[in-house]
């Protein structure tokens, strides 16, 4: 596996845009409806397939997502480069949203970057499954265990109501495929 140039600018830019839009939605709640993905109004607002990745429903939602984005995104940038990390991030988020649109039940609006972040996590799991990470900054364990635990907690229907498990699943599947492609072929997307 080759080492690519490391540049956190893209990760920090994503985090910055997310926080700016979070503040904007605190000021104007209508932005959540305008930028969030709603299956019933998707044909009238197709941009929400991407814009919902930048909208979060509360302080804990954005803090957890951005902290995870920072760690997974910065690590993945070092492994496969900024461009490929961004491709994985957005492709995972979009595929997650498509899954949400077509896998019922899906009537509620969906917001958040979780599908995109699961794509980064899935890529890392395939590339470095035994990477030791600190769960809650305390318990060291392999990355694959951490991703599996959080996928189960945040994605199994009925465990946490109101969670778009379809988006998590779509992002994770894309990430696993991307990681497999990179690991098997020994090359990057572009």
Mean pLDDT, residues 33-58 taken together: 93
Residue 187 has a pLDDT of 56
Mean pLDDT, residues 135-142 taken together: 72
SS3 state of residue 96:
helix
Residue 150 has a pLDDT of 72
Give the global pTM. Answer: 0.86
The rounded mean pLDDT for the chain is: 85
Give the model confidence (pLDDT) of 108-131 as tens digits.
889 999 999 999 999 999 888 887
| 155 pLDDT higher than 50 | yes
Q: Which residue has the higher pLDDT, 169 or 18?
A: 18
Query: Kind and range of the H or E element at 187?
Result: none
Mean pLDDT, residues 43-69 taken together: 94
- The DSSP result for 28-47, as a single string, is -THHHHHHSB-GGGTTT-TT
Give the model confidence (pLDDT) of 55-64 as tens digits.
998 999 999 8
Beta strands in 136-179 (DSSP E): 139-142
| Cβ atoms within 10 Å of 187's Cβ, excluding its own | 10
Please give the distance of CA 48 from its chain centroid, rounded to a whole number: 15
Domains identified in the chain and CATH numbers: 9-185 (1.20.1540.10)
């Amino acid at each position: 596996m080759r080492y690519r140039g490391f540049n956190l600018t893209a990760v920090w830019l994503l985090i910055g845009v997310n926080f700016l839009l979070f503040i904007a939605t605190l000021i104007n709640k209508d932005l959540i409806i305008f930028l969030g993905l709603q299956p019933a109004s998707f044909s009238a607002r197709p941009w929400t397939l991407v814009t919902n990745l930048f909208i979060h429903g509360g302080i804990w939602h954005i803090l957890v997502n951005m902290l995870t984005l920072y760690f997974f995104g910065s690590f993945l940038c070092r492994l496969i480069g900024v461009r490929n990390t961004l491709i994985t991030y957005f492709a995972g988020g979009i595929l997650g949203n498509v899954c949400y649109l077509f896998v019922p039940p899906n009537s509620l609006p969906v917001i958040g970057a979780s599908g995109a972040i699961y794509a980064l996590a899935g890529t890392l799991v395939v590339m470095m499954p035994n990477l030791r990470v600190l769960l809650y900054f305390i318990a060291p364990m392999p990355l694959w265990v951490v991703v599996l635990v959080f996928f189960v907690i945040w994605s199994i229907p009925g465990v946490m109501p109101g969670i778009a498990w379809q988006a998590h699943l779509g992002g994770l599947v894309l990430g696993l495929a991307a990681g497999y492609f990179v690991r098997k072929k020994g090359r990057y997307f572009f």
